[in-house]
């Protein structure tokens, strides 16, 4: 049994007027994710929520008073509240009674990197005729979602490919190595619990430790863990890129 309380409807998009009536009294069936959207599925439909730039979700005890910027609550009959906090209000909350994959926010999204839809052949074919640098190419969310700057740098190091190389110059074998490296880097980061010490805390409030395993990211001047050459840094598409010019070609 679920109840819902909305204190502020003006998020990135206004929360629909019928929203509370749609969800009240229903049971949560599953929780899932697509790109940066969190999907909470009920019998009658699904919530599609996005944390925006500054949003966070916390589980708090039922009698916890809301603080400023606590915009909505989902009250669970287990005695907890799922509470959304967002000072900048770029987060969003939508309700759909159709398949969320068909919602306008989700239906154009590129494959998930850890899904079977993202594979060597997909990456190889997508790179053909593309002269953009391979690092910027794999960070493009129209190719694959969720490969951020850290993971792009690390995956290219593991696949031994220079971040400056034109996407179309990647061989079939390199595309296979890169697709696998992207999957490996992300899987390891998830297992360890994230990378960004500054922003990321897990449910217990502990920081992400994947940073300690990085080969190149933010290691400029330090010795490459493979060949001992100094790691280099340059700016590419307004983002810092880190690489080993001896290991990566
Ligand atoms: Zn090296």
Interval 110-138 mean pLDDT: 96
| pLDDT (tens digit per residue) in 26-53 | 999 999 999 999 999 999 999 999 999 8
CA dihedral 133, 139, 140, 143 (to 10 degrees): 100
| 230 Cα–ligand 1 center, Å | 8
* Residue found under tokens 């916890």: 64
Q: Which helix (H) or strand (E) holds 120?
A: helix 120-127
SS3 246: coil
Residue 151: Cβ-neighbour burial (10 angstroms; 0-12, 13-18, 19+): buried
Indicate the domain borders of the chain: 3-102, 120-243
Residue 113: Cβ-neighbour burial (10 angstroms; 0-12, 13-18, 19+): buried
Q: What is the pLDDT of residue 194?
A: 62
| 118 Cα–ligand 1 center, Å | 27
CA distance 193 to 1: 31
120-243 has the same fold as 3-102: no
| 165 Cα–ligand 1 center, Å | 17
| 12 Cα–ligand 1 center, Å | 44
Write down how long the chain is.
249
CB 155 within 8 A of CB 189: no
| 188 Cα–ligand 1 center, Å | 21
| 27 Cα–ligand 1 center, Å | 52
| 134 Cα–ligand 1 center, Å | 19
Determine if residue 81 is left, alpha or beta; phi over 0 gives left, psi from -120 to 50 gives alpha, anything else beta: beta
| 32 Cα–ligand 1 center, Å | 38
Q: What is the pLDDT of residue 191?
A: 83
| 121 Cα–ligand 1 center, Å | 27
- Per DSSP, what are the bridge partners of residue 37? 34, 50
Interval 160-173 mean pLDDT: 98
Q: What percent of the chain has pLDDT over 70?
A: 93
| 103 Cα–ligand 1 center, Å | 44
| 229 Cα–ligand 1 center, Å | 6
CATH superfamily of 3-102: MutM-like, N-terminal (3.20.190.10)
CB 160 within 8 A of CB 104: no
CA distance 195 to 199: 9
| pLDDT (tens digit per residue) in 130-145 | 999 999 999 998 999 9
Q: How far apart are the first and last CA of the chain?
A: 57
Q: What is the pLDDT of residue 208?
A: 59
| 244 Cα–ligand 1 center, Å | 5
| 234 Cα–ligand 1 center, Å | 16
| 159 Cα–ligand 1 center, Å | 12
For residue 231, give the nearest of 218, 31, 164 by alpha carbon. 218
120-243 placed in CATH 1.10.8.50: yes
R_g of the chain computed on alpha carbons: 21
Residues whose CB falls within 8 Å of the CB of residue 61, separated by 6 or more in sequence, listed in order: 79, 80, 81
CB 143 within 8 A of CB 137: yes
Higher per-residue confidence, 55 vs 209:
55
| 139 Cα–ligand 1 center, Å | 22
| pLDDT (tens digit per residue) in 179-213 | 999 999 999 988 877 655 445 554 444 445 677 78
CB 152 within 8 A of CB 239: no
| 111 Cα–ligand 1 center, Å | 31
Q: What is the pLDDT of residue 180?
A: 98
For residue 185, give the nearest of 223, 144, 222, 221 by alpha carbon. 144
Q: What percent of the chain has pLDDT over 90?
A: 82
| 200 Cα–ligand 1 center, Å | 29
Task: Look up residue 172 and give its two tokens.
Answer: 């079939």
| 142 Cα–ligand 1 center, Å | 30
């Amino acid at each position: 049994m679920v109840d819902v309380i909305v204190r502020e409807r003006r998020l990135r998009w206004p929360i629909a007027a019928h929203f509370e009536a749609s969800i009240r009294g229903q049971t949560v069936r599953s929780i899932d994710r697509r790109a940066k959207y969190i999907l909470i599925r009920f019998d009658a439909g699904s919530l599609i929520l996005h944390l925006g730039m500054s949003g966070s979700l916390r589980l708090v005890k039922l009698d916890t008073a809301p603080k400023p910027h606590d915009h909505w609550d989902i009250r669970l009959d287990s005695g907890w509240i799922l509470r959304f906090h967002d000072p900048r209000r770029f987060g969003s909350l939508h309700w759909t009674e159709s398949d969320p994959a068909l919602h306008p926010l989700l239906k154009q999204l590129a494959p998930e990197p850890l899904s079977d839809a993202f594979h060597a052949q997909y990456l190889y074919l997508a790179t053909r005729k593309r002269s953009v640098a391979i690092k910027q190419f794999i960070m493009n969310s129209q190719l694959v979602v969720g490969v951020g700057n850290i993971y792009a740098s690390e995956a290219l190091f593991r696949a031994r490919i220079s971040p400056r190389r034109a996407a179309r110059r990647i061989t079939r074998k390199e595309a296979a190595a890169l697709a696998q490296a992207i999957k490996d880097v992300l899987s390891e980061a998830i297992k360890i619990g994230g990378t960004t010490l500054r922003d990321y805390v897990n449910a217990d409030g502990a920081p992400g430790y994947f940073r300690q395993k990085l080969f190149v990211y933010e290691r400029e001047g330090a010795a490459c863990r493979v060949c001992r050459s100094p790691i280099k840094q340059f700016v590419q598409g307004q983002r810092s890129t880190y690489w080993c010019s001896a290991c990566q070609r």
